[in-house]
Chains A and B, each alone.
Chain A
Amino acid sequence: MVQESNENLPTSTSAITEDEILLQDQQMKRIEDEQKAAPLVGDKSPFFTLIGYYDEVTSPAFFAKANELAETYSDIRYIRGDGNCFYRAVLVGLVEIMLNDREKLLKFIASSKEWTDRLVKLGFPDWTCTDFCEYFIEFLQKIADGKTKNEAVFENMNDDNTANYLLMFFRLITSGYLKGNSTEYEPFIGEGMPLAQYCESEIEAMWKEADHLAIIALVKATNIHLRIEYMDRSVAPNGGWHHNLPDGDDATFVPDITLLYRPGHYDLIYKKSVDSSG
């Protein structure tokens, strides 16, 4: 379903003036197809599979880091790299938590309903935004009512249409959080861009990667504890190997969700459980 072969591409060159454009389109299509070759959300797989991506000789730093992380983390869920990976990873992580914890599920349904009203008050386009919220709440409610089984939940997560609709809710509350606290966050936006414009062009638009501001906003909007492990120290905002959000001491911080950051991409990772032999 996901993979469309390249034979479907328009090969006609009848419109000579548009040759270049056609080529560009083909290129875009190829990139999209490549992305779509990977599932939106992969199955949980052993963490050591990550080590296989790096060569000991040509990229020793990443190879060593992957080995090091493998001591702490047991599993990884690869997320498709389509610009939505941060939001999708958090979405999947949260849904997993809620599948195992009914109390948290009900709490999140309640807070999602609050968000719906808040977005309307913030002036988001009326019914289209509410529609994304309602779809998300309905999705959670079905889990709460036992109408959607766990396997079906992950089928939904891998269906482009459904999954992206759910994901839009996360983009909207991220944007909503920033707009609701604009005085606090506007100074962080570069080039004197107004916050509202930043939100529309960088957050509310699909396929736009989340930057640090978006990450903070989503963490605050969803009230989760998030840890991000970095493969590359230089990109971590605090210069460390990992980053806790909201800021917290390593000793006391218990992350709900942990993500692995490789340049330009986030995947979902899972810590070894304490009782497992390692």
Chain B
Amino acid sequence: MTEMYNTKNAGVRRLMQEAKELRNPTEMYHAQPIEDNLFEWHFTIRGTLGTDFEGGIYHGRIIFPADYPMKPPNLILLTPNGRFELNKKICLSISGYHPETWLPSWSIRTALLALIGFLPTPPAGALGSLDYPAKERKRLAKTSVDWKCKECGCVMKDVLLPITEDGQLKETEEAKHLAAQLKFQDESVVKKEVAEAENQEKPTENKSENDSSSPTVSETSQASEKLTETSPPETTPLAVVVEETVSVDDPIVVIEPVQEPSPVGASYQQHRRLASQSFDYSLLLTVPLGLICVAIFITLLARRILVENGNPLNEPEL
């Protein structure tokens, strides 16, 4: 492949170096160029422990703009995951302050860690995001290990290094930290989402990436030790909000079969059933509440009218 590209080109040089850095899979991520194109890679990431994505291994494409690293890479997920739509560009940018900011000194590793950290964060209605219930995400996580990439032929369970809890914890810390800084969305909404950058814009600063060369356990532990010194510990374990993720105004689980090519035909029906379940619950709450409100309102109104009409002037007691 080396001969095909002008190695004097700074971007090409950089991509080749990144490919070298990431050659060996780690517990949490792996990414390499596909055979004949340095500007298109495939990546694999692992969902973090203690989230709906625990046990899940997800695959996707990275497409580099011609002027990478001056402009950010585009990530596209291929494995059904319940958090991001499939086959859609997810765009990477820093949250809040200047949402379109990508730093050229970030790398593919930064992007992948941020994506890992970003999986369990609430989608906040962003286009290109999915808000599947926890149960479904967990099911998808379980089935993802047998998912096979049609293009590069790899099966998820074989791609990454076997997990050791210790190693994962370290990198999870870094991923969370990065996710607090970065923002993933469908490419097209980024510009619109400026205002909605919500809570993540708090200044958790200091360099996030301390070392990277070969993420052995000892090295990454150093890195995350530095991190924990500088960044406030993440709270909000998302597992707490399991069954209550029922939104009132939209039936969430609207799944288009196109982007969800699940192998088993039955699973589609399962989605439907889930949809109706959550819908029912929400109705049970909102309808009676609404009725009670209306009833109170009418009662008050009626009383007022009666009071005004019945006791024209001199009856202040009622």
Contacts and interface: CB of A to CB of B under 8 A. Distances in A.
Contacts of A165: 10-11
B110 to A, nearest CB: 8
A14 to B, nearest CB: 14
Query: Which of A124, A162, A200 is the most central at the interface, judged by chain B CB atoms within 10 Å of its CB?
Result: A200
Contact of B207 (A21, A22, A125, A172): A125
B198 interface: no
Interface in A128-173: 128-129, 131-132, 135, 160-162, 164-165, 168, 172
Interface centre among B67, B103, B211 (most CB of A within 10 A): B103
Given A135-B10, A161-B9, A162-B10, A204 B103 contact: yes
Interface residues of A, number: 32
Contacts of A135: 10, 13
Given A125-B207, A126-B211, A196-B205, A164 B67 contact: yes
Contacts, number: 91
Contacts of B69: 128
B93 to A, nearest CB: 10
A194 B203 CA distance: 7
A18 B186 CA distance: 11
**Among the interface residues A161, A168, A196, A197, which one has the most CB atoms of the partner chain B within 10 A?**
A161
B188 A132 contact: no
Interface secondary structure of B, over-half rule: loop
A128 to B, nearest CB: 5
A263 interface: no
Contacts of B97: 197, 201
A194 B207 contact: no
Which DSSP category, helix, strand, loop or mixed, fits chain A's interface? Answer: helix
Contact of A205 (B9, B98, B212): B98
B9 to A, nearest CB: 6
B209 interface: yes
A126 B213 contact: yes
Interface of A: 18, 21-22, 24-25, 123-129, 131-132, 135, 160-162, 164-165, 168, 172, 193-194, 196-197, 200-201, 204-206, 208
Interface of B: 9-11, 13-14, 17, 21, 66-67, 69-71, 94, 97-98, 101-107, 110, 188-189, 191-192, 203, 205-213
- List the 10 shortest-distance A-B pairs measured between CB atoms, nearest first: A165-B10, A21-B188, A196-B205, A123-B207, A125-B209, A205-B101, A128-B105, A197-B205, A197-B203, A125-B105
